[in-house]
């Protein structure tokens, strides 16, 4: 019986390879079955049949380009130096300064309410979407459905898909307007649907939480996220540092936190060689590119940025851009 089962499996596999379209049809059939179960789960979550019919109409098969993008994320493929230097450039610095001048009233209100410095909000905006230029033009529902059907992070993306359907069902955005990145991130700050539910706010008081087209709502939602992630407005994110020769690099890592005075005693200095700040702050040492790249002493706000995106390269890029926005040309 075991031999018969193996032979049968081999014959079926060979048939799928030889018969044109057979493999695609098998995938399509599996996806259709998966979608039917998704409908059941979505209905149980309170999503209306009308919303499901509209959102899932025409969705026949997973989209390979989403899988390819998932496997080739820049944080994984690029070196630290390449990631940061391609994002913290003069164009983003100039763009950030324009945003600071364009939205002083709303940035001021948001900073006072959520206690997140303006330059960090603008820097986050710049790194995430180049101030709204690159928010993504993928329909969010098909993108999330593909990644939820895929095996790599299916549970995570299935939850995000249900959250996206809830946003549609609540009438917060039209289906045609719900576009974003290949991973379903939306708006100028690239909110995932679950982040929208937890942190997005209607700060302009128009009755809708519009992170897609209302800059005040987008800014306040990002600030609310950082505030709840533990942001401290009396601190910066960290700073580049120089290490002495023969420094014990086993001290590097977010698992080790020491007072600035202790790092000073160990020979760590600012990148220009000056002494570290005389403040009673705890800091951790991050050494990039496998402990062969630049080194940074980072504070609690760095950890808050990691709550947003679990990438040291991302957090350093945001902090570095924010530092550039603090200075005038």
Q: Contact at 8 Å (CB) between 314 and 128?
A: no
The whole-number average pLDDT for the span 73-79 is 71
User: Is the model more confident about 62 or about 89?
Assistant: 89
pLDDT at 114 over 70: yes
Higher pLDDT, 20 or 28: 28
Query: What percent of the chain has a predicted confidence (pLDDT) above 90?
Result: 79
The pLDDT of residue 97 is above 70: yes
Let me know: does 324 contact 317? Beta carbons within 8 Å: no
Reported confidence tier of residue 289, pLDDT bands at 50, 70, 90: confident
pLDDT single digits (tens) 116-134: 999 999 999 999 999 999 9
Helix or strand run (H / E) with residue 97 = helix 90-102
Percent residues over pLDDT 70 in the chain: 89
State the pLDDT at residue 68: 80
Q: What is the pLDDT of residue 3?
A: 43
Helix, coil or strand: residue 66: helix
Mean pLDDT of 83-110: 97
Q: How far is CA 245 from CA 71, 242, 258, 275, in A?
A: 38, 10, 20, 16
Q: What are all long-range contacts of 173-177, with beta carbons under 8 Å and residues at least 24 apart?
A: 173/210, 173/212, 175/54, 175/55, 175/141, 177/212, 177/213
Q: Does position 37 have pLDDT exceeding 90, yes or no?
A: yes
Distance between CA atoms of residues 23 and 38, nearest Å: 22
Q: Which sequence spans correspond to the domains of the chain?
A: 15-75+136-178, 238-298
Distance CA 56, CA 154 (A): 18
User: For residues 204 and 103, is the Cβ–Cβ distance under 8 A?
Assistant: no
Tokens encoding 121: 């909000």
Q: Is the pTM value of this prediction over 0.75?
A: yes
Residue 70: band (very low, low, confident or very high) from pLDDT cuts 50, 70, 90: confident
Residue 256 token pair:
């080790």
User: Which band of pLDDT confidence, cut at 50, 70 and 90, is reported for residue 285?
Assistant: very high
Q: For residue 5, what pLDDT band results from cuts at 50, 70 and 90?
A: low
d(Cα 43, Cα 313) in Å, to the nearest integer? 40
Mean pLDDT (whole number) for 22-48: 81
DSSP conformational letter for 274: P
Report the mean per-residue pLDDT for the chain. 90
Average pLDDT over residues 319-325: 98
Phi/psi for 217 (5° steps) reads: -65, -40
From 14-23, 63-72, 225-234, 250-259, the region with the lowest mean pLDDT: 14-23
Q: Residue 173 has what pLDDT? A: 95
217 in Cβ contact with 211 (< 8 Å) = yes
User: Is 69:79 a contact under the CB 8 Å cutoff?
Assistant: no
Higher pLDDT, 277 or 75: 277
CA–CA gap between residue 297 and residue 290 (Å, rounded): 16
Residue 37 belongs to what H/E stretch?
Answer: helix 22-44
Neighbours of 328 (CB within 10 A): 5
Instruction: Provide the token pair at 25.
Output: 């049809």
Query: Are the beta carbons of 315 and 306 closer than 8 angstroms?
Result: yes
* Residue 8 pLDDT exceeds 60: no
Number of H helices, E strands in the chain: 17, 7
In this predicted structure, what is the pLDDT of residue 66?
83
**Which residues lie below 8 Å from residue 41, measured CB to CB, with a gap of 6+?**
158, 162
Q: How many residues does the chain have?
A: 329
Binned at pLDDT 50, 70 and 90, residue 7 comes out as low
12 pLDDT band (50/70/90 cuts)? Answer: very low
Position 304 confidence tier, pLDDT thresholds 50, 70, 90: very high
């Amino acid at each position: 019986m075991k031999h018969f089962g193996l032979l049968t499996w081999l014959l079926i596999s060979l048939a799928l390879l030889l018969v044109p379209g057979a493999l695609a049809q098998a995938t399509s059939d599996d996806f259709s079955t998966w979608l039917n179960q998704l409908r059941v789960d979505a209905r149980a979550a309170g999503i209306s049949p009308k919303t499901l019919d509209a959102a899932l109409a025409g969705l026949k098969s997973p989209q390979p380009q989403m899988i390819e993008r998932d496997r080739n994320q820049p944080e994984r493929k690029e070196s630290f130096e390449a990631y940061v230097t391609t994002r913290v450039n003069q164009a983003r610095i100039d763009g950030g300064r324009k945003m600071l001048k364009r939205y002083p009233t709303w940035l001021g209100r948001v900073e006072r309410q959520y206690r997140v410095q303006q330059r960090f909000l603008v820097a986050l905006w710049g790194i995430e979407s180049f101030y709204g230029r690159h928010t993504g033009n993928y329909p969010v529902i098909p993108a999330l459905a593909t990644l939820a059907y895929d095996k790599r992070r299916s549970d995570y993306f299935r939850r995000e898909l249900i959250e996206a359907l809830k946003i549609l069902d609540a009438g917060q955005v039209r289906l045609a307007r719900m576009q974003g990145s290949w991973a379903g991130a939306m708006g100028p700050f690239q909110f995932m649907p679950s982040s929208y539910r937890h942190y997005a706010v209607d700060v302009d008081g128009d009755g809708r939480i519009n992170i897609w087209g209302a800059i005040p709502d987008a800014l306040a939602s990002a600030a609310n996220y950082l505030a709840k992630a533990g942001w401290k407005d009396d601190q910066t994110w960290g700073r580049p540092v120089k290490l002495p020769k023969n420094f014990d690099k086993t001290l590097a890592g977010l698992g080790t936190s020491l007072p600035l005075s202790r790092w000073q005693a160990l020979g760590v200095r600012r990148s220009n060689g000056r002494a570290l700040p005389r403040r009673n702050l705890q800091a951790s040492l991050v050494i990039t590119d496998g402990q062969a790249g630049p080194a940074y002493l980072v504070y609690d706000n760095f950890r808050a940025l990691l709550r947003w995106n679990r990438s040291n390269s991302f957090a350093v890029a945001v902090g570095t851009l924010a530092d550039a926005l603090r200075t005038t040309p």
